[in-house]
Amino acid sequence: MKRTRQEKIDRIVDRIKSDKKPGQGQVGIEMEHFIVDRASGRRIFYEGQPGVLEILEELAQMPGLEPVRINGHIAGVRNEEMAVSIEPGAQFEVSLTQSPDLKVLEDRARRAYEVLLPVLEKYGYGMMALGVDPDNRALEVPIIAKERYRIMNDWLGAHGPHSRKMMRLSCALQVSIDYFGPEDFRKKYRVLTALVPILYTLTDSVSRIGGEKRDKFNARQEIWRGTDPDRTGLVPTAFDEDFSYASYADWLLDRVILFRVEGGQEVETGDLTLSQAMDRADPEEEWAGLIDQALGIVFPDIRVKGFLEVRPMDALPLDLSLAVTALVKGLFYDPQNLDRLDRKFKTVSIDLVERGMDSGRDNGIHGYYLSDYFANWGIKLLDLAHEGLPEEERAYLAPLRELWSHLETPRTYYEKVEGEEGWDGLREILLAKTKD
């Protein structure tokens, strides 16, 4: 039976709203990496001798690690502190179990590396954190033979000129935070959307793609801007005064879901939107699965999945990843900071955010956004986060302050290192380590 749009919105809202009381929120980190040959920097793909497939199978045999299989194929491993999954081009994503404590997250990351890196090092491999693959072209990278990736590759490739680069060549750092009721959700979503150009610009790490030097900045930002704009970028209503759970749900209803899972298999659905799929499905038995599918197959810069996923940051080494995480925590879990930022961005619009992204692309850290330079924005935000964090966590911000106070981004710093020590020297900075 066909249901009203409001009934569908209400069901999505039930899935994404949080009934937790204000208090100490959780923080999550997802860190993506390229698997590379440590000696040559050559990227390692899923299949090969040995490839990521063989590495995952070896990890799955280790005590304390549980394999994750999809249709019988190894897709990752996990334990109670972390999960490893793979992206379409066999990028390794290390997801840490959420915690409100940054030291706990750091310890979990280091223990994850202590498990993963010895296996990789047996083959002479390492995990490299960089926003975009610097050497390969998109079609040189084989995509994992999973049906969902085939469907995504075909659909996204037909709806955005950079979609295949996104799937094969990009790596991100993602930080997730909780929200506590509708007003907190509105504030956080609005402020995070306003910060999108700043986060893209000040974490930019990429100076070349496909072996070719880039004159412009924010390579991963521009790849995402050229990836199916119907499901990426900025949610158009984010700055509406009445933005709410329902606003996000309303936007989600009109996104194409690409596929649905039937009997454990992914079945292509063409141009069927979530709303249309819900019309054809049993509300009691199938709607929950459809909603979860839709929440995970859209890629706005700020994504809602029962928490807020902050997505604009390039993949970064652990010290910088923890610094960005501390920045987000200090800004968004301190009520005074959140209120200050909400007031500051009261008159922001989607158009202004897009113009800020353009300025970051063209000028990097020297660009201008909302009446100030990106470099100044970075220092102001660090100062706020410093006040919003407990004293024992403030030191995590130091790597970002060291960069931004010297008008550097990861990209400009990496260019300097590469100029002095070559690509081999830079690669050592980018490779994950068990200890600093």
Q: How far apart are CA 84 and CA 96, in angstroms?
A: 9
Determine, yes or no, domain membership for 98.
yes
C-beta of residue 167 within 8 angstroms of C-beta of residue 88: yes
User: What local confidence, expressed as pLDDT, does residue 248 receive?
Assistant: 98
User: What local confidence, expressed as pLDDT, does residue 262 receive?
Assistant: 83
**Nearest-5° angle of CA 323, CA 109, CA 331?**
30
Q: How far is CA 86 from CA 31, 54, 116, in A?
A: 11, 13, 14
Determine, yes or no, domain membership for 374.
yes
363 is in which domain, residue-wise?
26-235+300-430
Determine, yes or no, domain membership for 175.
yes
Determine, yes or no, domain membership for 130.
yes
Q: How far apart are CA 190 and CA 196, in angstroms?
A: 10
Determine, yes or no, domain membership for 15.
no
Indicate the SS3 state at residue 35: strand
C-beta of residue 259 within 8 angstroms of C-beta of residue 270: no
Determine, yes or no, domain membership for 41.
yes
Determine, yes or no, domain membership for 246.
no
Q: Walk along the chain (436 residues) in steps of 10 and give the mean pLDDT of each run.
A: 90 86 82 95 92 95 93 90 96 97 98 97 97 96 91 95 97 97 96 98 96 96 97 98 97 96 86 96 92 96 96 98 98 98 97 98 98 97 98 98 98 97 94 86
Residue type, 14: D
Q: What is the CATH number of the domain that holds 372?
A: 3.30.590.20
- Count how many domains the chain has: 1
Determine, yes or no, domain membership for 20.
no
